[in-house]
Amino acid sequence: MRSKLIAAFLIVCAFGAQAMQDNWKEVKDKKGVKVYNQSIEGSSFKAFRAEMNINANLSTLIAAFNDVDAGTSWVENVDEMRLVKTTSVTDTITYTLSKAPWPVSDRDAVVHNITTQDPETLVVTIDQAAVPDFVPRIKGNVRIEQLNSAWTFTPVSENETYVTYQVFTEPGGNLPAWLVNTVAVSQPYKTFLGLREMAAKAEYQQQELEHIQNY
């Protein structure tokens, strides 16, 4: 099972790397957060990218990011988040649920998360890819079949980190692309504001992670 998951993860990430090029268009710049989008060949849905500098070190940010129980308090439009499987501190699978107003169906996703750190630059990358069949489907929910995203945390100084997030997903069902693309601008923006608030909490600032070198 693990080998199949890794193979699927690499295939999806390879697609994402090819699909998301450097043709980003800025669509929001507010409170230190910039959001961009770009068209994806073969899809009517757009990819999104967000970036910001944040006053926190790598351990603080990764500790906050990995606190799955607190995920609904900062990840925009996520109403449930739980850990499905932990292979290691750098290899996990999570389940998320996003509730939608009637008559739109709720969306859920099963995501494989792999964390790596470059030994020279110390950049931490969290690659995420959908593994839709890892968890049984729930009647009435639309399972996200395609999702490819990447978080990067680049240390700027001892207590400052440059954070970027790139994501491409197709929500499934019959949602019109123009509506999804319009509403989706706020998702990475509000998520980044939420991460900034999380990083300001003492419970995360006091953590030192053995698998993360800060600066």
Name residue 126's beta-bridge partners.
115, 151
Cα–Cα distance, 57 to 117 (Å, whole number)? 14
- pLDDT range class, residue 21, cuts 50, 70, 90: low
84-100: pLDDT as tens digits: 999 999 999 999 999 98
- Asked if the structure places residue 101 within a domain, the reply is yes
Expressed as residue numbers, the domain containing 71 is 2-205
pLDDT at 81 > cutoff 50: yes
**Number of domains within the chain:** 1
- Asked if the structure places residue 108 within a domain, the reply is yes
pLDDT at position 182: 85
Name the 3-class secondary structure at 10.
Answer: helix
- Asked if the structure places residue 23 within a domain, the reply is yes
CATH number of the domain that residue 191 is part of? 3.30.530.20
- pLDDT range class, residue 173, cuts 50, 70, 90: confident
pLDDT at 48 > cutoff 80: yes
- Asked if the structure places residue 102 within a domain, the reply is yes
- pLDDT range class, residue 184, cuts 50, 70, 90: confident
pLDDT at 15 > cutoff 70: no
What does the pLDDT average to over 8-33? 67
Structure-token pair, residue 132: 């839709």
- Alpha-carbon torsion, ordered 130, 134, 135, 136, to 10 deg: 110
- Asked if the structure places residue 212 within a domain, the reply is no
Whether omega for the bond prior to residue 103 falls within 30 degrees of 0, making it cis, is: yes
pLDDT at position 126: 98
pLDDT at position 55: 97
pLDDT at 183 > cutoff 50: yes
Question: Computed from CA positions of residues 19, 173, 25, 149, in that sequence, does the dihedral angle turn out positive or negative?
Answer: negative
Q: Could you give the C-alpha distances from 4 to 10, 134, 168, in angstroms and in order? A: 10, 11, 22
Q: What is the mean pLDDT of the chain?
A: 89
H helix runs in the chain, sequence order: 2-19, 58-65, 177-183, 186-199, 202-205
pLDDT at position 170: 84
- pLDDT range class, residue 8, cuts 50, 70, 90: very low
197-212: pLDDT as tens digits: 999 999 999 999 999 9
Q: Could you give the C-alpha distances from 33 to 12, 74, 189, in angstroms and in order? A: 27, 15, 7
- Asked if the structure places residue 160 within a domain, the reply is yes
Cα–Cα distance, 158 to 149 (Å, whole number)? 26
- pLDDT range class, residue 46, cuts 50, 70, 90: very high
- Asked if the structure places residue 182 within a domain, the reply is yes
- Asked if the structure places residue 213 within a domain, the reply is no
Helix axes 186-199, 58-65, angle to 10 degrees: 120
